[in-house]
Chain A
Amino acid sequence: MTATEYLIKNGFVFDPVQGIKGDKADVAVKDGKIVKSTELSSKAKVIDASGKTVMAGAVEIHAHIAGPKVNEGRNYRPEDKLFTYTPKKKGSRMAGGFSIPTTFKTGYEYARMGYTTCMEAAMPPLFARHVHEEMKDTPIIDEGAYPVFGNNWFVMEYLKNDEIDNAAAYTAWLLNSTKGYAIKVVNPGGTEAWGWGLNCLTVNDPVPYFDITPAEIMTGLMKTNEYLGLPHSMHVHQNSLGNPGNYTVTLDSLKLAEGIKANNKFGRETVLHSTHLQFHSYGGDNWGNFESKSKEVMDYVNRQKNITVDTGCVTLDETTTMTADGPFEHHLTELNHLKWANVDVELETAAGIVPYVYSPDIKVCEIQWAIGLEIALMAKDPMRCFITTDHPNAGPFTRYPRIFKWLMSVDARKERIESFKHSAKMVDATHIAGMDKELSLYELAQMTRAGPAKSLGLASIYGGLAPGMDADVAVYNFNPDTPHKPDEIEKAFSSAAFVMKTGTPVVMDGEIVSNGNKRTIWVDAKVNENPQVMRDIKDKFLRYYSVTLGNYDVTKHFLSGNPRVIEVDATR
C-alpha cells in the first residue's frame, strides 16, 4: 500500500514562488500535490530533511534528449558508451551513454539530480512521432517538445505577407498535429538556405527563393505567439551561432522583441527566450582574437525586461554537438574533421551532429567556458536567466552540478582558471577572473526552478512548493548553514538524498526507486476555422511532402499514459 501523504520535514527550503530563502520549513504532500501541512493526517510518511536543502523539482527548459538527431547521435557514437555503461538493477534498466544517454539513462540521471520536468528543445514536425516514442521511454520526468517553425515553408510564406492570423492558424494546427509545446526557432531562414548548402548569417540576409529575412521570421513568430497567447514565448536560437563577432547578430535579434507585449493567461511576462546564449556572445573576428562579449549582451538583457535567456555553459568535456542549425554543423566538421551527420527535413528544417572536444588546453574552449558562466553571474534578474548546457552541445546535462559549483564558488572558478594551459590569454579575453559573485541557493532555485517554469507558462504547476502545485520535490545532502568545500556542491547536487515526482518518491539516496508516472505536456490552441490555411496544408501535402496528410498527425497512443494538455483559447 503506497503512501499518498508525505511530510518532508525540517529542511532548509528555497522556494522563490513563496519567497522562502533557506528557512527551516516543512513541505506537505497529498495525492500528488503540495498542500498545507494542516491538511495531512497522522498517516503521512515523514521524510527527514534535517540539515538538507529542499527545493522544488528542477525544470529543464532546453536540452536535446529525444528525437531523430539525438538517436542518430546515439547510434553513430558507440564509443560514447564504451566502459561507462550502468548495468541493469532491480528497479532500473541498463543505462548508457556519456554525452548522449539512452532514454532510460536520461530519465534516471535527471531524476537523480532532482530535475522533474524537461523540455526537448527541437522537434522536427515530420518526426514528431519519433520524439514522442522516445519521451514515452524516458522514465520519471514530465516532458514536452518544441516543434521548429523558423524554416517552415508555410510560416515563411505567411509571414512574408504579414498574415499573422494565417500563421497563427497554421501554428495551432502544427502544435496539435505534433502534440508540441511551443514555437521554437532555430537559425531562422538559414536552415532553409542550407537546403541548397547556403546560410543566413545576419538578421537581414534573405532566404533564397522565399525572400524573407530572419528578422521578419522572428518578428512574425513573436506576433503569432502573442496572437495565440501560448504559455511559453517564442524560443530562439539566433543566426550565426558559434562565429567570432556574432554578438552583433544576437543584439539585432534580441532588439526585435522591443515593443512586443506578452499576451497570455499563464503569467508569462516575456516575449522572447534566447537560448544557449554563450554560443551567441562572441567577439573578435577570428579564432585568434576571439573574446567574450557577455557584458554587451547581458547589459541589454538586463535592461530589456521582456526577454529570458539560458546560458549554454561549457563543461569542458568531450561531447556531441547537435542542432537544427545544419550549416553550423557543416562548418564545425570542416574545422575539426570529426564525423558529421546531417538530415535535411522537407519543408521544415534540418539537423546536424558533430562530436566536439572542449579541451582545457585550447584557448577558445577556455574562453567559451568563461562566457557561459559570465552570463549567469551578470544576470541581474535570476528569474530571467536559466542555467543549461544546451545538452549535449556545450556538455552533458549530468554536469549541471559542476556548473552550479563554478557559479557558487569563486575558489572553484579560480582553481579551474589557474590550471588552464592558456590561463593568461583567456583571462585577457574574458571577464570571469575579475568576478567575485557567488550564486546563492535561492538564486540557484530561481535559475533552475521558478524562472524556467514561469517562462514556460507553467508557474502554477512546476518550479515551486506552494500549495496547489505539483509535488515535485528535491532534497539534497547539502547544509547551507555549515561551511563546505566547493566539491561538496557538485557531489550533493549530482545525487539527491530524496526526489519526489507528482507525490511519488522516485529517488532515495541517489538510487532510483520508482519509474513514476510521467506525463507528456502539449498545447492545444483553439483558433477560428481557417479554410485558407487548411487548403494550403492539403495542397502542400499532396504536392511536396512525401507522406500523406492523413499520416502526419501524432495520434494519442504515442503519448505516455497521461498526457497533460495545456488549453489555449485563441478564437476571436
Chain B
Amino acid sequence: METVTVTIKTQPELFLEADNISPDAFAGKKAAEITTLHAYEGREQYTLGKYFDVSGDAGATAADTRIIVKGDVSRVKYIGMKMSAGEVIIEKDADMYVGAWMQGGKLTAKGNVDAFAGIGMKGGELIIEGNAGNYLGAAYRGDWRGMQGGLIRVKGNAGSDIGYFMNGGTIIVEGNADVHIATHAEGGKVVIKGDAKSKIGGQMVEGEIIVFGGIDVMMPGFKYVKDEEIEVDGTKATFALFHGDLGERHPKRKGQVVYGKLYQKI
C-alpha cells in the first residue's frame, strides 16, 4: 500500500469541501498532481494544494492507497466520501460527511466527527475513535434506503438519528446515544453500549437494536417478549427482548410476522 500524507497548512475562512480526499480520487496520481485536485470554499474553486501539503504518491488503485490526514481539519467536509477501497486515517477532529456514501475500504477518524458521518453507507469500515455527531449512518434526505452494509464503530458518544432508515450493516456505539435510534429501520443492527434516551426503534419495520445501558422512555409500541442470552460484539449477556414497533407495518415470512427487535441488557 502506498501512503499519501495530507497535512493542512491553511485553514479555510469558511469551510472547505474536500470530496477529493479519498483513495479513489488519489489513485494513480503522484503528490504534485494530487495538489491540483479541486477543493471548494463557498462558490470558489481552489486546489487541495492551497490548503494542504501533500507528500507521497498514491497507489495505482484505490485499494493500494492509504491517506493520512494530519492537522486540524475540523472545518473540512466530505473526507473519504464515496471511497470504494483503500484506507484513510484522519488524525484530528473532522467536520461533516466523513465517509459519506462509503462503499468499501477502511476509514479511521481518530478524533471527533461532526454530523452525517457514514450516511448512505454501502460497505467498508468506518471507525470513529472520538464522538460522532447527528445522523450517523443515516439515509440521505428522502431516501427510504439508508445504510445498506458495512460497519460503523464509534468509541465515544453519538448524537441523534443514528441509523435512520437503516436497511443493513452494523453500527456500534461504545458510549451513549442521543434520541431517535434506528427510526424507520427495515434491517441492520445498532448496538449502544452506553445509555440511550428515548424514541428508540420508532417506526421500525425490521432490524435489531441492542442497548446495554439505560433507556429513559420506551416507545409505547414495544412489547416485552422474553429474556434471552445473546452474544453481542464479543460480550455474552442476558437481555430483555421487545418486539415492535407495533404501530408500524411488518412483513410476514413463513406465515409469521417478523418484528423489529429491541434488546435491553438486564
Contacts and interface: CB of A to CB of B under 8 A. Distances in A.
B140 A338 contact: no
Contacts of A77: 142
A338 B205 CA distance: 13
The prevalent SS among residues of B at the interface is: loop
A339 interface: yes
Contacts of B141: 78-79
Nearest to A355: B144
A80 B144 CA distance: 12
B231 interface: no
B40 to A, nearest CB: 12
Contacts of B9: none
Nearest to B144: A338
A249 B249 CA distance: 33
A339 B140 contact: no
16 contacts: A76-B142, A77-B142, A78-B140, A78-B141, A78-B142, A79-B140, A79-B141, A79-B142, A79-B143, A80-B142, A82-B140, A82-B143, A337-B249, A338-B144, A339-B142, A339-B144
A338 B249 CA distance: 12
Nearest to B249: A337
A79 B144 CA distance: 9
Interface string B129-148: 00000000000111110000
Contacts of B144: 338-339
B22 to A, nearest CB: 15
A339 B142 CA distance: 9
Given A80-B142, A338-B144, 14 more contacts: A76-B142, A77-B142, A78-B140, A78-B141, A78-B142, A79-B140, A79-B141, A79-B142, A79-B143, A82-B140, A82-B143, A337-B249, A339-B142, A339-B144
A258 B200 CA distance: 61
B240 to A, nearest CB: 29
Contacts of B143: 79, 82
Interface in A70-111: 76-80, 82
Contacts of A78: 140-142
B206 to A, nearest CB: 12
A79 B120 CA distance: 11
Interface string A58-79: 0000000000000000001111
A90 to B, nearest CB: 16
A337 B142 CA distance: 14
Interface string B143-177: 11000000000000000000000000000000000
A355 to B, nearest CB: 8
Contacts of B140: 78-79, 82
A2 B68 CA distance: 57
Contacts of B142: 76-80, 339
A154 B144 CA distance: 41
Nearest to A76: B142
A79 B141 CA distance: 7
Contacts of B249: 337
A82 B140 CA distance: 9
Leading 4 A-B pairs by shortest Cβ distance: A79-B143, A78-B142, A79-B142, A78-B141
B227 to A, nearest CB: 32
A429 to B, nearest CB: 26
Nearest to A337: B249
A82 B249 CA distance: 28
A339 B139 CA distance: 15
Contacts of A80: 142
A78 B141 CA distance: 6
Interface in B91-148: 140-144
A331 to B, nearest CB: 15
A506 B143 CA distance: 36
A339 B145 CA distance: 12
Name, among A76, A79, A80, the residue most crowded by chain B CB atoms within 10 Å (CB to CB).
A79
Nearest to A80: B142
Nearest to B251: A337
A318 B249 CA distance: 23
Most buried by B among A82, A338, A339: A82
A76 B142 CA distance: 7
B142 to A, nearest CB: 4
A339 B144 CA distance: 9
A78 B144 CA distance: 11
Nearest to A77: B142
A318 to B, nearest CB: 10
A337 B144 CA distance: 10
A515 B239 CA distance: 65
A339 B143 CA distance: 10
Instruction: Specify which of B141, B142, B143 lies most central, judged by the most chain A CB atoms within 10 Å of its CB.
Output: B142
B38 to A, nearest CB: 13
A487 B141 CA distance: 35
A82 B97 CA distance: 15
B43 to A, nearest CB: 11
Interface in A330-344: 337-339
B260 to A, nearest CB: 15
A79 B145 CA distance: 10
A322 to B, nearest CB: 15
A561 to B, nearest CB: 31
Interface in A298-349: 337-339
Nearest to B141: A78
A337 B249 CA distance: 9
Interface string A124-137: 00000000000000
A76 B248 CA distance: 21
A3 B142 CA distance: 47
Interface in B51-96: none
A93 to B, nearest CB: 15
Nearest to A75: B142
A80 B140 CA distance: 11
A338 B144 CA distance: 8
Interface string B239-266: 0000000000100000000000000000
